[in-house]
């Protein structure tokens, strides 16, 4: 039995093992919903899934004719996909506690992966859905033209959009809060000065959740679709942008992996970026 929780703890559920699959998904919808470079899902029998609490706090958004995505209304963490007709429960691995008893088996939808993210492990890569799951290329999203010196982004449904210039830093964060908030192996966050950032639409749809014990950490999301959104921290004069929701180039590349002492036990860091157990010294 494995426990799953959202960032705020409102939503809790259990899955009975063993898990039958674990995949990294790079499709644009997963990146928009999670705000991460990719999402990681595990598959288990639907018969072994149980809500412990918070089922009524789960909101759903129909992202395409092929699927419905769900999230916690309070904190924005991604909730499991339940597919009773297929006998499956698909859970975001970032919200599951402990070692899951298996490791990622492949990357899928790599034809849609973020251009700024490089896959550095040796796992098999599938351009779309793996053949054993029926294949298919997924849903194509409209492209956004790159503007000189400007990065554009939007949420999953497109109701929230923003732009920024002159990013300050970009880190891949493995802390437990990022994993719960992004519902992924790790976050990839771009830090921008407040004066270099602006919402171009939908700011009123953005909700922010700050864990009571956190000094700075905030998770922002679109209340319409649950897709991640920039977290504006006005007191610090900083905006934290989840890189997975960008529609164009982030204008920089990840500089380091941070909080690796807290990384998911099922995920191996294989890139060449500097690693810090917590925050960098600077």
Q: What is the pLDDT of residues 173-226, one digit of tens each?
A: 999 999 999 999 999 999 999 999 999 999 999 999 999 998 889 999 999 999
Task: Confirm whether 282 is domain-assigned.
Answer: no
Q: Considering the domain boundaries, does residue 114 fall inside one?
A: yes
Distance CA 33, CA 244 (A): 8
Torsion of CA 49, 6, 69, 156, to 10 degrees: -160
User: Do both 186 and 261 map to the same domain?
Assistant: yes
**Residues 172 and 112 grouped into a single domain:** no
- Angstrom CA distances, 78 to 66, 68, 118, 269, stand at 18, 12, 24, 23
Q: Are residues 126 and 166 in the same domain?
A: no
158 in the same domain as 115: no
Burial 235-274 (b: 16+ CB within 10 A, else e): eeebbbbbbbbbbbebbbebebbbbbebbbebbebeeeee
How many angstroms separate the CA atoms of 141 and 254, rounded? 24
pLDDT of 145 reads: 93
By DSSP bridging, strand 161-164 and strand 151-154 are antiparallel
Domain boundary among 83, 98, 133: 133
Total domains in the fold of the chain: 2
- Co-location of 222 and 122 in the same domain: no
Same domain, 100 and 46: yes
Is there a single domain that holds both residue 32 and residue 117?
yes
Q: How far apart are CA 67 and CA 90, in angstroms?
A: 12
CATH number of the domain that 117 lies in? 2.170.150.70
Range of the domain at 178: 151-275
| Residues linked to residue 132 through DSSP beta bridges, in sequence order | none
Q: Which two structure tokens, joined as six digits, stand for 245?
A: 């929701």
Does any domain span residue 138? no
- In this predicted structure, the answer to whether residue 55 has a pLDDT above a threshold of 70 is yes
Q: What is the mean pLDDT of residues 45-71?
A: 92
- Do 99 and 26 lie in one domain? The reply is yes
Last residue of a domain, one of 103, 133, 163: 133
pLDDT at 135: 67
Q: Which of 107, 133, 159 is the last residue of a domain?
A: 133
Is the pTM of the predicted complex or chain greater than 0.75?
yes
The pLDDT tens digits of the residues spanning 140-165 come to 777 899 999 999 999 999 999 999 99
Same domain, 115 and 181: no
Note whether 73 and 118 are same-domain residues: yes
């Amino acid at each position: 039995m494995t426990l799953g929780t959202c960032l705020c703890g409102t939503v809790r559920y259990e899955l009975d093992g063993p898990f039958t699959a674990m995949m990294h998904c790079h499709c644009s919808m997963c990146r928009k919903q999670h705000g991460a470079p990719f999402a990681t899902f595990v598959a288990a029998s639907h018969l072994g899934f149980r809500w412990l609490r918070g089922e009524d706090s789960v909101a759903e958004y129909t992202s395409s004719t092929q699927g419905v995505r769900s999230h916690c209304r309070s904190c924005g963490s991604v909730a499991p996909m339940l597919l009773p007709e297929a006998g499956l429960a698909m859970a975001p691995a970032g919200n599951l506690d402990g070692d899951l008893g298996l490791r990622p088996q492949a990357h899928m939808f790599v034809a849609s992966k973020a251009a700024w993210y490089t896959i550095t492990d040796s796992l098999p890569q599938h351009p779309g859905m793996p053949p054993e799951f029926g294949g298919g290329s997924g849903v194509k999203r409209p492209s956004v033209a790159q503007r000189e010196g400007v990065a554009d982004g939007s949420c999953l449904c497109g109701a929230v959009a923003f732009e920024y210039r002159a990013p300050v830093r970009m880190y891949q964060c493995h802390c437990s809060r990022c994993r719960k908030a992004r519902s992924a192996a790790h976050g990839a966050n771009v830090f921008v000065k407040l004066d270099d950032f602006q919402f171009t639409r939908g700011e009123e749809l953005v909700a922010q959740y700050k864990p009571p014990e956190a000094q700075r950490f905030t998770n922002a999301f679109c209340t319409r679709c649950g897709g991640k959104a920039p977290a504006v921290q006005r007191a610090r004069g900083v905006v934290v942008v989840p890189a997975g929701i960008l529609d164009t180039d982030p204008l920089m590349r990840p500089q380091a992996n941070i909080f690796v002492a807290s990384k998911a036990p099922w995920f191996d860091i294989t890139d060449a970026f500097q690693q810090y157990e917590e925050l960098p010294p600077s």
